[in-house]
Amino acid sequence: MQRQPVRPFRSRDWFADPARSDMTALYLERFMNYGLTPAELRSGRPIIGIAQTGSDLSPCNRIHLDLARRVRDGIRDAGGIAMEFPVHPIFENCRRPTAALDRNLAYLGLVETLYGYPIDAVVLTTGCDKTTPSGIMAASTVDIPAIVLSGGPMLDGWHDGELVGSGTVIWRSRRKLAAGEIDEEEFLQRATDSAPSAGHCNTMGTASTMNAVAEALGLSLPGCAAIPAPYRERGQYAYETGRRIVEMAYEDLRPSNILTRESFLNAIRVVTAIGGSSNAQPHIHAMAKHAGIEIAASDWSEFGYDLPLLVDVQPAGRFLGERFHRAGGVPAVMTELLGAGKLDGACATVTGRTVAENIQGRGATDREVIRAFDTPLKEQAGFLVLTGNLFDVAIMKTSVISPAFRERYLERTGMENVFEARAIVFEGSDDYHHRINDPALDIDENCILVIRGAGPIGWPGSAEVVNMQPPDHLIQRGILALPTLGDGRQSGTSDSPSILNASPESAVGGGLSWLHTGDVIRIDLAAGRCDALVDEAEIARRRGEPAPPIPASNTPWEELYREKTGQLSEGGVLDFAVKYRGIAARTPRH
Ligand code: FES
Ligand code: MG
């Protein structure tokens, strides 16, 4: 007897609707032109989508073009029918004016595909930064069974016997270039050496962070996130993921059965323990919003800040993806958190088992890379959430703050964690690059570099530009980092001590819009405050001045994005879109 799904497959409505056999013929016939048979499509087996994010334009995810074969094998062996389709490309490093525009665009496209075609369940192929949240956001909106398959990081990069990690090597080499220690050729060679194979960034940048988040949320097979792209296990996980999604289709195990406030809090905790990217903040808020779950900025302080850094991977630590995987990857980190009572082990996952059941017996195998909870690399390593007269919410990634920086800025005032700095304000990154070495700015170690016009509306899309390096003359004197502040984001691979994602942004009248070069900014980390020492009357006067300029929209999507997108503190989602949830319950009309 044929297996019956818990809920009839939605594809039946296309391929087996007795009331509309005329339409059925139309729906079926063109799939025949590559060899599928009507019998297969009408057999009652689930149609499993493979949302393909890999392409020549998405090199970080290109491994999925190969992995999809193993996914298909798994789907077939488990009794499903695979249908692979393309997702709008997202390539973090190359897309101008910023890949942040693409997260919501890929989301929209994927929602329409999953909703409008006869797809019963989907494998979300993920890798490069935004490919993970966009897929998960869409899966929540549609709410069909969905499983994440990470493409995995590249192999570890080596240069002159030294580990060189994605992105991080760029920021560090830039400083060496400015200090005159290397030339441009050496710079390019270091960058090339950091990318030795297929895969996404091998540091704990946004890509590895978001794949770890997907696993922490219970959306991938345990251990999936960290397997390097070329490893044999990657292909094996692709196969098992294909098998499992067919079961999930029969079980009708959907994102709404898995994602809860507790699972998102687990993800926040994991981000701290791995030293994860500051981009996790907007992406986690965005995914939660689309899942209909309330996550507040204060949850990062309450549940994420006071946790230790356990993973010794760049940019917060020393190693790269291969060592992290061999040390046990995300399950080992979750094991530490669970053992310390800092994880909810009862959360549901795609395996049909709980988080605690999934990670049973998967503790760390290399204590150099994944520390025990009681002997961490750093205490209190989470994001600090700040507020003040310059913004309502901004975050600071404390795990990357170097001892030298701490000493210079946080201890010299005699008041622990309080410092004041003179603001140097830039209108976006072109202005920064043109003027950073201008002697007229008189930048010294008492300055804070501020960038505005870099948020969702201003840029548009919110750019990774806040990790600004000091002027060359300071770097040559050994001052490798100044505090920075901005309404944009920073690369997850950066080790810069920055105050990021300031919301509301300057372009919508946030406090950065009235800040002047020369104003003194006071930062009190213990109180979670960041204020310009400018009195109310002066602020009111400045608010009457013309707003800082922002560039015109250059594409239709830029215009629409600006009209519909919210601030980073709220995830930068398309505000109107979050009310659409579980839309697959309503089958689209013929
Ligand atoms: Fe694509 Fe880092 S640039 S993963
Ligand atoms: Mg990035």
- In whole angstroms, how large is the CA radius of gyration of the chain? 24
Average pLDDT over residues 26-44: 92
pLDDT digits 0-9 by tens, 318-346? 999 999 999 999 999 999 999 999 999 99
Three-state SS annotation for 62-127: CHHHHHHHHHHHHHHHCCCEEEEEECCCCCCCCCCCCCHHHHHHHHHHHHHHHHHCCCCEEEEEEC
Q: What is the reported pLDDT for 51?
A: 99
- DSSP code, position 406: I
Least confident among 17-26, 97-106, 112-121, 470-479: 17-26
Q: Could you give the percent of the chain with pLDDT greater than 90?
A: 90
pLDDT digits 0-9 by tens, 152-182? 999 999 999 999 999 999 988 998 998 899 9
pLDDT digits 0-9 by tens, 425-468? 999 999 999 999 999 999 999 999 999 999 999 999 999 999 99
CA distance 21 to 47: 19
- Respond yes or no on whether the N-terminal peptide bond of residue 315 is cis (omega within 30° of 0): yes
Among candidates 296, 573, 552, 289, which has minimal Cα distance to 456?
A: 573
Q: Ligand 1 pocket check: which of 166, 203, 208, 320 to mutate, most ligand atoms within 8 Å of Cβ?
A: 166
In which band, very low, low, confident or very high, does the pLDDT at 492 lie, cut at 50, 70 and 90? confident
Residue nearest to atom 2 of ligand 1 (CA): 201
Q: What is the reported pLDDT for 415?
A: 60
Which residue has tokens 């969905």?
146
HSE-up (13 A, CA, CB side) for residue 249: 30
Ligand 1 centroid from CA 90, angstroms: 9
What mean pLDDT, rounded, does the chain reach? 95
Q: What is the reported pLDDT for 2?
A: 76
Q: Who lines ligand 1 at CB under 6 A? A: 60, 92-93, 128-129, 166, 200-201, 205, 207
Average pLDDT over residues 349-378: 98
At residue 479's C-alpha, the angle toward residues 477 and 482, to 5°, is 145
Q: Is 213:252 a contact under the CB 8 Å cutoff?
A: no
Amino acid at 301: S
Three-state SS annotation for 371-392: CCCCCCCECCCCEEEEECCCCC
What atom of ligand 1 comes closest to residue 129's alpha carbon? 4
Q: What is the reported pLDDT for 1?
A: 63
Q: Long-range pairs for 99-102 at CB < 8 Å and ≥24 separation? A: 99/128, 99/129, 99/130, 99/461, 100/130, 100/456, 100/459, 100/461, 100/462, 100/463, 100/489, 100/572, 101/460, 101/461, 101/557, 101/558, 101/561, 102/130, 102/134
What atom of ligand 1 comes closest to residue 200's alpha carbon? 4
pLDDT digits 0-9 by tens, 182-204? 999 999 999 999 999 999 999 99
Ligand 2 centroid from CA 554, angstroms: 23
Least confident among 114-123, 240-249, 366-375, 581-590: 581-590
Ligand 1 centroid from CA 387, angstroms: 30
What atom of ligand 1 comes closest to residue 167's alpha carbon? 2
- Determine the 3-state secondary structure of 399 from DSSP: helix
Which residue has tokens 């009507």?
38
Residue nearest to atom 1 of ligand 1 (CA): 128
Q: Which two tokens stand for residue 400?
A: 């990357």
Q: Where are the alpha helices (DSSP H) in 155-260?
A: 168-178, 184-193, 206-216, 232-251, 255-258
C-alpha distances out from residue 558 to 86, 218, 287, 454, 572, Å: 22, 33, 21, 14, 14
Q: Is 280:206 a contact under the CB 8 Å cutoff?
A: yes
- The ipTM, to two decimals, is 0.90
Q: What is the reported pLDDT for 413?
A: 56
Instruction: Output b/e per residue, 459-497; b: 16+ Cβ within 10 A.
Output: bbbbbbbbbbbbbeebbeeebbbbbbbbbbbbbbbbbbb
What atom of ligand 1 comes closest to residue 91's alpha carbon? 1
pLDDT digits 0-9 by tens, 89-103? 999 999 999 999 999
Whether pTM exceeds 0.90: yes
Backbone φ and ψ of 81, nearest 5°: -120, 125
- DSSP code, position 527: T
User: Who surrounds ion ligand 2 at CB < 5 A?
Assistant: 92, 129, 206, 491
Q: What is the reported pLDDT for 414?
A: 58
Among candidates 416, 396, 397, which has minimal Cα distance to 406?
A: 416
pLDDT digits 0-9 by tens, 136-157? 999 999 999 999 999 999 999 9
